[in-house]
Structure 1
């Protein structure tokens, strides 16, 4: 309990320090890690709690970005546009979930992966509404560049906090119990009376709501979006890697993974830009082979025990 309070206090102090002293570059990194944490926590609700390997994050992010951007262009107040984008994304995810959540394993993974491609093609083709491949210019927020950077950091940080609280609430609710049962054995969960379809769709919708709002905030933050950017497949892959890095199915794991991933990503971008694409694949392989429980697992058995285990495995 004291450790959690200490971590929470440290995060609050760090946030206040960023707002008071952080330059635009530092604020950009902080906003990015908050967005990453939101996406990873949201993915974990489906992929971690229920064990369904969703690749629909890019679809929900892009849909939220365009919904929020178009609402802003139409004159809707910015916060209302973000919320509306999240609700629209959740409604879409509910319909999508009813259509594909009967699939399991790699069939579900492939089905969810295709959605982003379909939405990207629709967005590219619907030029009169979205601007097509030319993209969409989102209205600028008033104020100086520094003020805007602080506003979007606060917005994304609050969303990340909301995502974490929603994740905790779901985990401790009947929905969380149902999702955990589905992850263990879906057929057995049905036998004991759990409405697995309803639980999966509810988790899917909650996850997409958070991702959709993140996409809308991102659109306002960067002021310009295009289909190749907001429907990029990497937006589906990165949250999975972050969850793997921190610990899939845990509450704090995706947040830990988001911080660790951003650090690794910045290191790769600065020193070996051409290696960035292969970095994701190599990282997944290394995590599966050497750290299947994520960084959170090190807390339980200690770093020395983990290193000893690696050395023992390499000698076999």
Structure 2
């Protein structure tokens, strides 16, 4: 399968597959965010998810995929550090702000910096039509965040700090998207990067903190539902992160990063349908604006 995927790089079929993978990543990333923001403490949810996908990835990393080349170890160290800071910022954001307010800010800030990073690191550029599409998409994302900010009634006392943290989180989204795209292109087999990333990131970042946090709680949540959420989140993470990383290897990093941010549409629907957060015609119109922007980006390419 690795040879087949590598053979698609730079082809029209690879472009089409990258588009599908980026949109799949958008849907799954919104589900992943909702799982972390759900009824459990976000740190416990994230720790459970990381632990599960680290344990699942371990046998594949150690016994199935080719071992990383020597030059990959510093790259893995950088990826581990970037994702650790990202997850800390994300957890702090979710603790302080409503999901449908902070999530669009995170996702809106991310592609803006990812496009800039793709230009400097990979030499990618967008034409005038695609830049217009990015502007439309970002106006919808930030418009949705502004509308939610005006009407949200929960976490008002901590919302300003949550928004600051959301912007910082978005910057790290752009950083890890660009850096991981570099990492997955630096190894001969893309699955080597994916399995070793999940193995190292899953077992040696937030998971140990989540275990200690749970052990010190006076009123500990039941492990059964928490681990169920972890297993579900692990499955989503494999396909979400794997999809966007494969998309960045097959095609332009910046375009994949922009298309993934249609996750804001899915996040708003999840917030409305599953988390009980209110919606309305204005929010629907803003979500449509995000989708239109993504279509313009794709058609202009």
TM-score by length of 1: 0.31
- Give the structure, 1 or 2, with the largest relative contact order (CA under 8 Å, sep 6 or more): 2
